[in-house]
Amino acid sequence: MYVLPKEKREELRKPLGEVIDEETLKKREIKGKIVTIGDKVTLTLKKNGIQPDMAIIDYKIERKECSKEEKQVLSNGKRIIKVKNPAGKITSELWNAVATGYALDECITVEVEGEEDLAALPAIYLAPRNTTVLYGLPSKGIVVVEVGKNEREKVWKFLKQMEE
């Protein structure tokens, strides 16, 4: 399990990729396998006709429960993996679900009971070549990470500081 130390929280608020808004997203071609972290980002992509290969969600937007309609849109992956993951942590259950999602060749929804905020870290670290990970940055926009060696190394250095 990885635990986010309090002194590292501010560092994690720095985007790991380019920050864009919804208008820019509409015009952008997203390459390769698409992974979304968070309900709002997932809904935004789907609203714009982009189906993520893997969506990691908790049915909450800014700590508020999603509507029934939003939940229906969010949970339409071919396979659903349910995990528990407390805030400020990355459990082995979440880590393994992300790894499984990459191994399967179908649309996956990882439903997190608890908090999915740190899921971008395993999603980036475990990503195969030609993967784009998108996650929300509250009041700033959508972070787009076209995963490569540099992104994996940056995440690995951060994960090493989180080990419990």
| Each residue's pLDDT tens digit, 119-162 | 999 999 999 999 999 999 988 999 999 999 999 999 999 999 99
Enclosing domain of residue 53 = 2-162
How many folded domains does the chain comprise? 1
Q: DSSP for 48-70, please give it.
A: TT---SEEEE-SEETTEEPPHHH
Distance CA(137)–CA(119), nearest Å, equals 13
% the chain with pLDDT above 70: 99
**pLDDT band at 6, cuts 50/70/90?**
confident
The span from the first CA to the last CA of the chain, in angstroms, equals: 6
Query: For 38-79, what is each residue's pLDDT tens digit?
Result: 999 999 999 999 999 999 999 898 778 888 888 888 877 689
